[in-house]
Structures are given as C-alpha cells and as structure tokens.
Amino acid sequence: MSEQNMAFHVGNKVIHWAHGPGVIIKLEEKELSGHTNQYYVVQMHDLTLWVPISETGEHSLRLPTPVEDFQKLFHVLASPGEPLPADRLERKTLLTERMKDGRLESICRVIRDLTFLSRSKKMNDHDNSTLERARSFLLSEWSVALSVPIQQAGRELKELLDKNISPGK
C-alpha cells in the first residue's frame, strides 16, 4: 500500500460524513465481490467502519473542523433562525439536503432553524429526529475538535441558541 497516495494515516482523527468522529486504527486490504480494495479501518465508539481509501469527496472521510473555523459556526448558531417552509414535505426535503451535504455549517443551520421553529410551533417526528441527529453530529465533532467534554459542548450550544430569545419570550 503506497503511503503517498493516502490522505490519512493510522492514528488520524477523522470525521465520517454520516457517522461522525472516529480514529483510523489500521489500513487493511479486503476482497469483496472478487475485487480487492484498500480500506481505512475507522473506530467510532462502538462502531468499526471500513472506508475505501479510493473513496473521496463528500461521502468519505475528512479531518475535524479546525478550531478557528468554529468561530464562524458559533456565529451561525447565534444568528436569528431563517424561517423553514411551512409545508412539511418541502421542509423535509430542504432539511434532508442540508444534512446530506455533510458540511458542519449546513448542520449548524439545521439546528438553528429547527430550534427557531420549535419555539413557535409543535414539530413533527421528522423535524425532531433531524434536530437530534444534527445536534449529536455537531456535538461529537465539537467535542473532538475543541477537546471539551460533550456535556460542556451541549451547554455552550444551548447558550448560543438562546442568544436569539428575548427575555419576554
């Protein structure tokens, strides 16, 4: 396996586009359907993933968001929420697109806007599950990138989101 062709190495902390943070624990060759491929073996809490080394782009691995980039994300979270479509199917489509793009900024917008929505309207099951999935993903990366306990990240997230509530609400 050529080290020069690999973006990541054993021991790197990485973020999987769907599962969040993990650590590359080894490199491994596996044969599937008659084809041999090289994989990053990524350990995430109680989950082990085999991610093809040749897989790149938005549905792959990336490094954790740099600490300095979190200031921009904090600004997004503390800014006023943008109204989401009133139609539940339009809202579901929009939220799904934001979640699938895998960018932490998009995930922060989902959290901000759904939190804003929840303050004025009862949310449906999809809205609630999307908000929970987005929060979990953000807090996991926040904890890894900023080296803080996940509970502290949760408190800080709540404080940022609460900046948009006036005392009378």
Q: Domain extents for the chain?
A: 3-62, 67-162
End-to-end CA distance of the chain: 59
Q: Rounded mean pLDDT of 81-90?
A: 93
Tens digits of residue pLDDT in 102-113: 789 999 999 999
- Is there a common fold for 3-62 and 67-162? no
d(CA 14, CA 7): 11
d(CA 145, CA 90): 33
Global confidence as pTM: 0.80
Q: What is the percent of the chain where pLDDT is above 90? A: 60
Q: Please tell me the predicted confidence (pLDDT) of residue 57.
A: 62
Cα–Cα–Cα angle for 104, 27, 9, rounded to 5 degrees: 55
pLDDT-based confidence at residue 64 (cuts at 50, 70, 90): confident
Is pLDDT of 2 > 50?
A: no
Q: Please tell me the predicted confidence (pLDDT) of residue 26.
A: 93
Two tokens at 42?
């990524």
Q: Please tell me the predicted confidence (pLDDT) of residue 58.
A: 59
Q: Please tell me the predicted confidence (pLDDT) of residue 56.
A: 64
d(CA 131, CA 114): 6
Is pLDDT of 144 > 60?
A: yes
Q: Please tell me the predicted confidence (pLDDT) of residue 142.
A: 94
Does domain 67-162 match CATH 3.60.15.10? no
Written out in words, the top-level CATH class of the domain with range 3-62 is mainly beta
- CA dist 165 → 113, 121, 162 (Å): 13, 15, 5
Q: Please tell me the predicted confidence (pLDDT) of residue 59.
A: 62
